[in-house]
């Protein structure tokens, strides 16, 4: 039995909103600057990540309000978010290393098990944060990288916590607090990149 409360469920939407805002700013700044393949992967990936977070928070809210226990929403979380982060990370990597117009075929492997999905999430997140840090350096704003370092470290902590008992209220509050810090740092980093001129940045062609 889960120990979810309505305030807990509502708070769980906060990091999702932070991520959606940050990802939206990046997509606006990257539009028409990345190859179609890279942008497609990035846009699809970030949409998957946002959807996964939204579905998980929605499950908590439905459960807390005694409407229903639609556990499938949470069960989808790891697979949807893991593949999303991988796609987004690969999209950014391609944008940094490939010429515009290069088409790359990509298909996700089929996995099962929380550990594998956590691994994919870490790899995808790592790629995203490294690429965004590289962009910060290219814009001569190295200090911005601290936001992405904080975001990634907090994400690693979330990965560790995923192996714990999330039926306990304390564990949920702890995870939500760390996730809020992670996504707030991500959002601050993205806003800082935007203000530093990311919209005018041109990837190597």
pLDDT of residue 67: 85
Q: Could you give the count of Cα atoms lying within 13 Å of 191 in the half-sphere of its Cβ?
A: 10
**pLDDT tens track of the chain, all 205 residues?**
566 788 888 999 999 999 999 999 999 999 888 888 999 999 999 999 999 999 888 888 888 888 887 777 777 887 888 899 999 999 999 998 865 444 444 444 444 455 667 677 788 888 999 999 999 999 999 999 999 999 999 888 876 776 666 667 777 788 889 989 999 999 999 999 999 999 888 876 4
In-domain check, residue 1: no
> Is 21 part of a structural domain of the chain?
yes
Residue 165's alpha-carbon distances to 79, 101, 144, 160, 174, in angstroms, are 19, 46, 34, 11, 12
Query: Using CA atoms, how far apart are residues 191 and 169, in angstroms rounded to an integer?
Result: 32
DSSP of 54-93:
HHHHHHHHHHHTTS---THHHHTHHHHHHHHHHHHHHHHH
Q: How many domains does the chain have?
A: 1
Position 29 in a domain: yes
Residue 159: half-sphere exposure toward Cβ, Cα within 13 Å: 20
Note whether residue 20 is domain-resident: yes
Instruction: Give me the pLDDT at residue 184, please.
Output: 95
- For the purposes of burial, counting CB atoms within 10 Å of the CB of 138, is it exposed (0-12), middle (13-18) or buried (19 or more)? middle
CB-count burial class (<10 Å; 0-12, 13-18, 19+) for 196: middle
Q: Which residue has 């990091």 as its token pair?
A: 15
What φ, ψ does residue 170 adopt, rounded to 5°? -60, -45
For residue 87, the enclosing domain spans 6-200
pLDDT at 111 (0 to 100)? 45
Residue 125 resides in a domain:
yes
Rounded Cα distance between 18 and 107, Å, is 28
SS3 202: coil
Domain annotation covers residue 205? no
**Residue 165 has what pLDDT?**
63
Q: What is the value of pTM for the model shown?
A: 0.79
Q: Is residue 44 part of a domain?
A: yes
- Cβ-based neighbours of 122, under 8 Å, separated by 6 or more: 155, 156, 159
User: Which residues touch 71 (CB under 8 Å, ≥6 apart)?
Assistant: 59
184 part of a folded domain: yes
């Amino acid at each position: 039995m889960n120990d979810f409360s309505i305030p807990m469920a509502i708070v769980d939407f906060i990091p999702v909103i932070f991520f959606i805002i940050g990802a939206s700013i990046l997509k606006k700044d990257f539009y028409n600057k990345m190859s179609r393949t890279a942008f497609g992967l990035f846009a699809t990936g970030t949409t998957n990540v946002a959807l996964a977070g939204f579905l998980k928070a929605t499950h908590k809210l439905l459960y807390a309000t005694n409407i229903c226990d639609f556990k499938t929403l949470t069960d989808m979380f790891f697979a949807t978010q893991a593949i999303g982060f991988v796609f987004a990370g690969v999209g950014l990597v391609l944008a940094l290393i490939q010429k515009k117009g290069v088409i790359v075929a990509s298909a996700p492997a089929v996995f099962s098990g929380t550990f594998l999905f956590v691994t994919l999430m870490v790899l995808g997140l790592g790629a995203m944060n490294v690429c965004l840090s590289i962009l910060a350096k290219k814009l001569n704003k190295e200090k911005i990288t601290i936001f992405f370092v904080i975001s990634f470290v907090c994400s690693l902590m979330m990965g560790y916590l995923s192996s714990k008992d999330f039926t306990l209220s304390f564990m949920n509050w702890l995870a939500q607090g760390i996730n809020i810090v992670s996504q707030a740092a991500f959002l601050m980093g993205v806003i800082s990149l935007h203000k530093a001129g990311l919209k005018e940045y041109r990837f190597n062609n």
